[in-house]
Amino acid sequence: MDIKVSDANDIPALVQLINSAYRGDGSKKGWTTEADLLDGTRTDEVNIADLIADAKGGILKCVDEKGKIIGCMNLQKHGDRLYLGMLTVSPELQGAGIGKRLLEAAIAYAKSNDCTAIYMTVISVRHELIAWYERHGYKKTGEMKPFPIGEKFGIQKQPLELMVMEREV
């Protein structure tokens, strides 16, 4: 496995990977699915293109020995903190240590960009995911944010809110 910075050529593969891991029946092969909480897509080509082009960060991809993208995450620098979003691992490969490798890469990225902490938002009812992040050094900050409204973010099947988690680097 190798972790690299994504570019515009990766957009279709990233969109397919992210949507397959978060939404729809195929996402239920892995444990990170949001299919029981949200309908619709998780992202689209415009969103991914914007994240890749953002001067404050980008998307790191994890590729297998054949060059296939099997994981990714969005990293965006905000002051002296790094936002980590859209951490994704192919549903068929979840549990193989790819997510852990991506988190380690986020720490290295944060340090190389003079960040003192990494933060993220997690849907508050995702208890197993929150516990996984806690095992990797992230802590609940106590801050809660409303889940964004609109099809662009997914169609909520129940009221949702986002919990902010953070770790020092």
Query: Per-residue pLDDT tens for 66-75?
Result: 999 999 999 9
Amino acid at 89: V
Q: What is the mean pLDDT of residues 125-154?
A: 95
Q: Is the pLDDT of residue 120 over 90?
A: yes
For CA atoms 160, 138, 47, 39, the dihedral sign is negative
Q: Give the chain's domain count.
A: 1
At 66, which CATH number? Answer: 3.40.630.30
**Residues with Cβ within 8 Å of residue 65, at least 6 apart in sequence:** 1
pLDDT band at 123 (very low <50, low <70, confident <90, very high): very high
Q: What is the largest CA-CA distance in the chain?
A: 42
- Which tens digits make up the pLDDT trace of 5-34? 999 999 999 999 999 999 888 888 888 889
**Domain enclosing residue 116, as ranges:** 2-168
Q: What is the pTM of this model?
A: 0.94
pLDDT band at 151 (very low <50, low <70, confident <90, very high): confident
What proportions of the chain, in percent to the nearest 5, are helix, strand and coil?
35, 35, 30
